[in-house]
Amino acid sequence: MAVPSVELTGGVKFPMIGFGTWQSAPDVVGTAVRAAIDAGYRHIDCAWNYFNEKEVGQAVKDKITEGKIKREDVFITTKLWCTYHRPEDVKRGFQESLRGLGLDYIDLFLIHGPPAFKPGPKWLATDDSDYDDTDYVDTFKAMESLVDEGVCRAIGLSNFNTQQLERVLQNCRIKPAVNQVELHPYLVQQKLVDYCKSKGVVITAYSPLGSPGRDFAQPGEARVLEDPVVLDIAKNHEKTPAQVLLRYHLDRGIVVIPKSVTPSRIRENLQVLDFSLTADDIKKLNSLDRNNRYVDWSFCKTHKYFPFRD
Ligand SMILES: NC(=O)c1ccc[n+]([C@@H]2O[C@H](COP(=O)([O-])OP(=O)(O)OC[C@H]3O[C@@H](n4cnc5c(N)ncnc54)[C@H](OP(=O)(O)O)[C@@H]3O)[C@@H](O)[C@H]2O)c1
């Protein structure tokens, strides 16, 4: 069954299930991406700071060479890291990803998050002296030129809260096509979801399975994949808990990008098109909301543009 798409501004088709690549080690991510393309994924989520774009891009090119896909069949998202926010650095940040991936255009380019850090090789802020004041509105305006130049088909945001998104919408020439944010039943973010929908900004749900394998997972943390309500709904539909958590977004009109390096899970996560959740299932899943962020950007909590205060 073909994965449904949503249309972004300008008629660009955005497949509703994408393949996550964060913390997929460079020595395994190529095999994972090839398995994903073989399984039917046609949307891959990348970022400069995943430090594996070269291997992801090579895997995509392998599949093109093999004749399995054409470049235009696969939707590639990547993200501008915080050390490239100054308008004069935006193009360089973009080109590093483009060169890393070995492609000649990107389908969707996102600001990875609103806070800017000082340009330079130190990519992660460890104290306030690493922060930069660049306004993300100016960063986004510089990204508009990439669309004008034809090197990326759409631009958008990630980790933006309602007020930040509103500022971009009020000040920019090209509407951000997407806001990619953490979403799952422990972090429902209904207000943000409703706001994005009202403005025609497509939402992508990251960490839809609760990011259980991330390197900073806390021992004993509540795992949405193991929640009894999720397990119960999975049993009723004869599906796995992961499939229920992915279907939850599709049934809310939200794009979802699960990550896996395990071939059986890569296939499992795509087998979500032959069922749907009931209104009662969605209600039960929404009732699990506890404002639980697995990816909290704690490295820049004191930045003036830290997004998770509302
Ligand atoms: N914009 C941002 O700031 C941001 C932040 C975080 C993530 N993201 C994007 O969103 C993607 C997904 O989020 P994520 O990587 O944080 O986490 P996730 O997709 O919620 O969870 C991935 C973890 O779940 C495991 N898993 C995958 N399928 C499973 C299944 N069917 N059953 C049980 N476990 C399963 C994976 O293990 P194995 O790999 O070992 O199979 C991995 O440990 C990222 O890869 C990235 O592309 C974006």
Q: What is the mean pLDDT of residues 78-105?
A: 98
Closest-CA residue, ligand 1 atom 4, reads 206
Q: What is the structure's pLDDT at 310?
A: 55
264-274: pLDDT as tens digits: 999 999 999 99
Mean pLDDT of the chain: 97
Pocket around ligand 1: residues whose beta carbon is below 6 Å from it?
20-22, 45, 112, 158-159, 180, 206-214, 225, 240, 242, 257-262, 265, 268-269, 295
161-187: pLDDT as tens digits: 999 999 999 999 999 999 999 999 999
Q: How many CA atoms lie within 13 A of 230 on its CB side?
A: 24
Cα(259)–Cα(106) distance, integer angstroms:
20
Q: What is the mean pLDDT of residues 63-67?
A: 98
Q: What is the structure's pLDDT at 215?
A: 93
H-type alpha helices, the chain: 26-39, 53-65, 87-101, 136-149, 162-171, 190-199, 228-237, 241-250, 263-268, 279-286
* 221 — pLDDT class (breaks 50, 70, 90): very high
On whether 112 is known to bind a ligand per the annotation, the reply is yes
Radius of gyration of the chain (CA): 18
For residue 269 the two structure tokens come to: 């996560």
Domains of the chain and CATH, by start: 5-295 (3.20.20.100)
Q: What is the mean pLDDT of residues 91-102?
A: 98
Query: What is the tally of helices (H) and strands (E) in the chain?
Result: 10, 12
